[in-house]
Amino acid sequence: MSHDLYATWACAEIANIIRADQSSYFANSGYTSGWTVAAGREGGRLWPLADGVISSYNTALSDDLHIAVEFKRTNEGLHGTLTALGQSLAYLHKGYHASIIVIPEKYASHSTPATHIKDVLDLTANNMPVGVFSYEEPDLSKLSPFENKVRCHRLPNLSLSPLVSGSVSSRPRSSTLWAHVREGMSYPDVFYKYCKQVKFVSAYPKNKRYILPREVLDAVQRVKPGADPYKFLSYTTNNSILDRAWLHVWFEYYFHRDLIPIFTRNPTTGVYSVNDTSTLILRNQSEFANLLSGRTDSPKNKIVDDLNKGVITEDQAWDHYVSKVNAQAHSYREVIDSGLYHLNLLDNDGNLTNIGYRFVDEADKQNSVYAPTSMQILRGAALIYGNFSAFLHYVYQLSEDIFVQNEIAFASLNRAKTKYKFEAAEYKAYLYEKMRDDLSLILTSSIRSLGNPRQAFQAELPFLKYLGIISESRTPFRVGVGLLINWPIVQESIDFMNNNNL
């Protein structure tokens, strides 16, 4: 089992402990109850990076509290405890409200390391909000492998303000325990093509040249006078590796020459029609993804509808369009950047990691991300570094528990009463609620739930489908089983990563 998976389980267990004993852990905050607590991971990539993040919110407060978690395995040696001590203080300097050190219960050369670290902190940094926990080896057969195997030796003494002052926007952010992905965006093909452009811009200092229509150039100047149209439309600001790579991805594959025009116009009738050209990003092995068109509420469709109604001019149409392109570029980039980083394909500086280079090289051999080895790497990266192995663990264990009690849970008979139909929405809602309410894996608040609520695992399940980790059939669910997980390919991908030192 990987360090990241153990850290995920430990982080979730400590979040449960904190939630169950709020009067102790939040004693210094002024609010000793009413907290929602959940485990996650860092949402950014600014060094130093915590192994996990425990986030809390209280309805009486506007800001969340974030605790950085530093986890050490036994094989990291006793010296790892001192490394953890330094890292825990660095997290406070980064802006966390507190930090927690999680180390083994004992080492061959030291029987009480957690007590030793507690004593060092009490002597040298008595007022620092650093907690110390120890753990015994987890029980991998349990839903919560570290349940009753984690012990607190020093409370982190949470307060409402971090030691390091700064704006709320500059403080560390948390994300889900597993990699950040989004349906309709996190396709294997875009991960490949983005990594390919990172490799290109790392070797060549100049950007490629892309031709933009006069209507687009004029509209950008009306919307944002003096702006560089290429940077505005791609939502980039400088010439960093990631900015240059994204600019190339945007104009090469998304906002490409044939897709750019909003409409065509019939010279006889004057009627406008939507230019519904697709992107050059594959959403599966044979179909390309749409951008800006394809639905009645898509930007191009709405603009063309307004043009045909005569409620806007063509100049107004282009002005509205370039603003939407800028916003879409921002949204897509944020999701894809985060996903690549969480999968360990990009490092903190935006360069390809060893895994990222191997991924691109294998896909380049067949000019397709769907080459067998490149998909093996992407799956392995998602499972190990993206923590989707933890996601699958929780889904499997929760499903086992419920179906042992009731084999036809979430199933309903058809009208003829001859066949059971699996109610996937109910099943996913059950998993979501258990992860949120019992396992402290999902942080929600009243503020976040306003507006159009997302369905449970709306992004995660399609992503796992793209990777072949769950069934690609019409429905990946079965009565008495729940989610159909391809366990042989999961183990095969993890073994491939381990055997190739990736």
Residue 115 has pLDDT above 90, yes or no: yes
pLDDT digits (tens, 9 = 90+) for 437-484: 999 998 775 334 444 456 889 999 999 999 999 987 778 999 999 999
pLDDT at 106: 94
| 39 and 90, same domain (yes or no) | yes
Same domain for 126 and 193, yes or no, is no
Neighbours of 171 (CB within 10 A): 18
Same domain, 333 and 201: yes
Most distant CA pair in the chain, distance: 87
CA gap 445, 362 in Å, rounded: 42
Nearest to 357 by CA among 188, 245, 200: 200
The pLDDT value given to residue 454: 66
Cα–Cα distance measured from residue 237 to residue 477, given in angstroms and rounded to the nearest whole number: 44
User: pLDDT per residue over 267-287, tens digit each?
Assistant: 999 999 999 999 999 999 999
Structure tokens at 308: 């045909």
**Model pLDDT, residue 381:** 97
Q: Which of 145, 175, 205 is the last residue of a domain?
A: 175
Same-domain pairing of 419 and 305: no
- What is the per-residue pLDDT across 383-416, written as a single tens digit (0 to 9) for each? 999 999 999 999 999 999 999 999 999 999 887 7
DSSP 109-154: TBS-HHHHHHHHHHHH-TTS-EEEEEEPPP-TTSSSTTTT-EEEEE
* pLDDT of amino acid 176: 86
What are 317's strand-pairing partners? none
Strand pairing category for 98-104 and 130-135:
parallel
> Where is pLDDT greater, at 253 or 28?
253
Summarize pLDDT for 290-304 with one digit per residue, the tens. Answer: 999 999 999 999 999
- Say yes or no: 20 and 163 in one domain: yes
Average pLDDT over residues 172-200: 93
Residues 138 and 207 in one domain: no
Top pLDDT among 138 and 43 is at 138
| Within a domain: 168 | yes
* Whether residue 95 sits in one domain with residue 64: yes
Tell me, yes or no, whether 428 lies in a domain: yes
Q: Do both 198 and 78 map to the same domain?
A: no
d(CA 273, CA 448): 38
Rounded to a whole number of angstroms, the CA Rg of the chain reads 25
The whole-angstrom separation of Cα 340 and Cα 343 is 5
Enter the tokens of residue 481.
């089983």
32 located within any domain: yes
- At residue 46, the 3 state secondary structure works out as coil
Q: What's the confidence (pLDDT) of residue 157? A: 87
User: Is 371 part of a structural domain of the chain?
Assistant: no
DSSP secondary structure of 420-452: EEE-HHHHHHHHHHHHHHTS------TTTTSSS
Predicted local confidence at residue 168, as pLDDT: 55
pLDDT, tens digit, 9 for 90 and up, residues 365-391: 999 999 999 999 999 999 999 999 999
Buried b (16+ CB within 10 A) or exposed e, 100-127: bbbbbbebeeeeebbebbbeebeeeeee
Note the pLDDT tens digit of each residue in 29-56: 889 999 999 999 988 778 888 999 999 9
> Is 180 contained in some domain?
no
Domains contained in the chain, number: 3
The residues, ordered by sequence, that sit 6+ positions from 300 with a Cβ below 8 Å of its Cβ are 262, 263, 274, 275, 276, 292, 293, 321
In this model, does residue 361 exceed pLDDT 80?
Answer: yes
Is 359 part of a structural domain of the chain? no
Residues 294 and 154 in one domain: no
Is the predicted pLDDT of residue 186 greater than 60, yes or no?
yes
Give the domain range for residue 233: 188-352
Mean pLDDT of the chain: 92
Q: What does the pLDDT read at residue 90?
A: 95
Q: What share of the chain is helix, strand, coil (3-state, %, to 5)?
A: 45, 15, 45
Q: Is residue 373 assigned to a domain?
A: no
- Note whether 147 and 230 are same-domain residues: no
What local confidence, expressed as pLDDT, does residue 443 receive? 74
Give pLDDT, residue 207.
Answer: 86
Residues 204-231 have a mean pLDDT of 95
Q: Given pLDDT bands bounded at 50, 70 and 90, which one contains residue 418?
A: confident
> What is residue 104's DSSP assignment?
E
- On whether residue 377 sits in a domain, the answer given is no
Question: Does one domain contain both 460 and 495?
Answer: yes
Q: Which of 175, 208, 234 is the last residue of a domain?
A: 175
pLDDT at residue 222 tops 70: yes
**How many helices (H) and strands (E) are present in the chain, helices listed first?**
16, 13
Beta carbons of 350 and 245 less than 8 angstroms apart: yes
Beta bridge partners of 315: none
Residue pair 99/129 in contact by the 8 Å Cβ criterion: yes
Q: Are residues 432 and 343 located together in one domain of the fold?
A: no
Cα–Cα dist 215/415, whole Å: 57
